């Protein structure tokens, strides 16, 4: 067996491990976003009801802040992987594919650098809160527990942008994110599925007639 065959066979399990890893990250981020949004809505509704009845929940504001932090920073990583960040898509689509690819690579690389810098400063801020032993007013919980998600998810966002850069170097087509080639890929897939069902229904109708 040649060395090239050994290298390719050895690289396949590594790719599978990375694919499995990002699938787990996808599931975790989707779970965090869904549960945080649901619990935030439930908490606010209960707090409004309790405020009208008698007295509001004293820790509702702090827990709401925690959920908002979770949703914001987890959503940034999720959006980077699913190509859901705000971009000048209309302008990019008018450009030739090669120029669009170059712009996507440059923007993704700069975005990755920005995410890593923000992750560094957010980690420093979190560490300062931990050293000072700053606590929340109502619950008295260490405040850095609320901030720890920020450097983690900012770093993950930076990795997603770097994955976008690598994906565009590996593939001929333009990839807006490591997992999505088109900004409207999900919508296109849904429309194609609906059209396929319509064609199947029309074909069965012609057979019966």
pLDDT tens readout for residues 88-140: 766 777 778 888 889 889 999 999 999 999 999 999 999 999 999 888 888 88
**Collapsing DSSP states into helix, strand and coil, what is residue 177?**
strand
What pLDDT score was predicted for residue 186? 52
In this predicted structure, what is the pLDDT of residue 113?
A: 96
- Give the Cα separation of 72 and 29 in Å (integer): 11
Confidence grade of residue 4 (pLDDT, cut at 50, 70, 90): very low
Residue 7 is predicted with a pLDDT of 45
Does residue 88 sit in helix, strand or coil?
Answer: coil
Average pLDDT, the chain: 80
More confident residue, 152 or 82: 152
66 pLDDT more than 50: yes
| Annotated domain spans of the chain | 3-183
CB 33 within 8 Å of CB 75: yes
Cβ-based neighbour number of residue 158 at 10 Å: 21
Cα(149)–Cα(71) distance, integer angstroms: 10
Q: What are phi and psi of 181, to 5 degrees?
A: -85, -40
Q: Please determine, for residue 151, whether its predicted confidence score (pLDDT) is greater than 50.
A: yes
- Could you read off the pLDDT of 8-26 as tens digits, one per residue? 444 455 555 566 677 888 8
Q: Determine contact, residues 116/160, Cβ cutoff 8 Å.
A: no
The pLDDT of residue 56 is above 90: no
Sequence-distant contacts of 182-188: CB under 8 A, at least 24 apart? 182/83, 183/83, 183/87, 183/89, 185/83
When mean pLDDT is compared across 39-48, 54-63, 109-118, 164-173, the lowest value belongs to: 54-63
Q: What pLDDT is stored for residue 178 in this prediction?
A: 83
Please give the distance of CA 18 from its chain centroid, rounded to a whole number.
Answer: 17
Rounded-to-integer distance, Cα 199 and Cα 127, Å? 59
The structure's pTM equals 0.73
Identify which has the larger pLDDT, 148 or 2.
Answer: 148
The answer, yes or no, to whether residue 159 has pLDDT greater than 90, is yes
């Amino acid at each position: 067996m040649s060395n090239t065959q050994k290298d390719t066979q050895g690289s396949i399990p590594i790719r599978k491990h990375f694919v499995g890893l990002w699938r787990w990250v996808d599931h975790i981020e989707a779970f965090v976003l869904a549960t945080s949004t649901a619990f935030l809505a439930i908490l606010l509704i209960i707090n409004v009801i309790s405020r009208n009845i008698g007295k509001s929940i004293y820790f509702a504001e702090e827990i709401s802040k925690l959920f908002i932090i979770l949703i914001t920073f987890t959503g940034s990583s999720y959006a980077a992987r699913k190509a859901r960040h705000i971009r000048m898509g209309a302008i990019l689509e008018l450009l030739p594919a090669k120029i669009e690819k170059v712009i996507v690579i440059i923007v993704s690389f700069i975005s990755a650098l920005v995410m890593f810098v923000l992750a560094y400063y957010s980690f420093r801020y979190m560490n300062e809160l931990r050293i000072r032993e700053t606590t929340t007013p109502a619950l008295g919980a260490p405040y850095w527990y609320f901030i720890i998600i920020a450097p983690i998810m900012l770093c993950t966002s930076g990795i997603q942008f770097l994955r976008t850069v690598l994906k565009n170097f590996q593939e001929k087509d333009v990839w807006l994110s490591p997992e999505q080639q088109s900004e409207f890929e999900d919508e296109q897939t849904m429309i194609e599925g609906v059209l396929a069902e319509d064609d199947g229904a029309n074909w069965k109708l012609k057979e019966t007639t």
